[in-house]
Amino acid sequence: MKLILAVIQDKDSNRLIDALGQKNFKTTKLSSTGGFLKEGNTTLMIGCEDQHVADALDVIKDNCSQREQMVSPVSPLGGNADSYIPRPINVEVGGATVFVVPVDAFHQF
């Protein structure tokens, strides 16, 4: 038995929880903030048997990997609208920091 602690971005958390649930992984969501990733992150606790760890990691990787996203910047306030050409920029989003911790005993009451 292992306990997987995954720090991910808030925006990826619902998709990840759904994807894990479809494979019968149970997750507990802790509110967290800052540090490993930018502000607005979530820590998920996922308990799973040793032989399912690789599968859980795959689901995390598929749903939370750091990636680039094209964002159209808003036009500058009070700027000269005529000379302003909005240029979509790439922003890094997502990312997951994952710790796999050993579990000595697991109980459900």
100 binds its own copies (CB under 8 A): yes
Decide whether 50 or 76 has the Cβ nearer to its own copies.
Answer: 50
Q: Report the distance separating Cα 52 and Cα 99, nearest Å.
A: 15
Q: Is 74 helix (H, G, I), strand (E, B) or coil?
A: coil
Mask: binding to its own copies, 23-62, rule CB under 8 A, as x and -? ---xxxxxxxxxxx----x-x-x-x-----x---x--xx-
Decide whether 35 or 88 has the Cβ nearer to its own copies.
Answer: 35
Among 5, 19, 55, 93, binds its own copies (CB under 8 A): 5
Two structure tokens written together for 87:
């240029």
Residues 6+ apart with CB under 8 A from 64: 6, 8, 9, 12, 16, 94, 95, 96
Q: Report the distance separating Cα 31 and Cα 49, nearest Å.
A: 24
109 binds its own copies (CB under 8 A): yes
Decide whether 3 or 19 has the Cβ nearer to its own copies.
Answer: 3
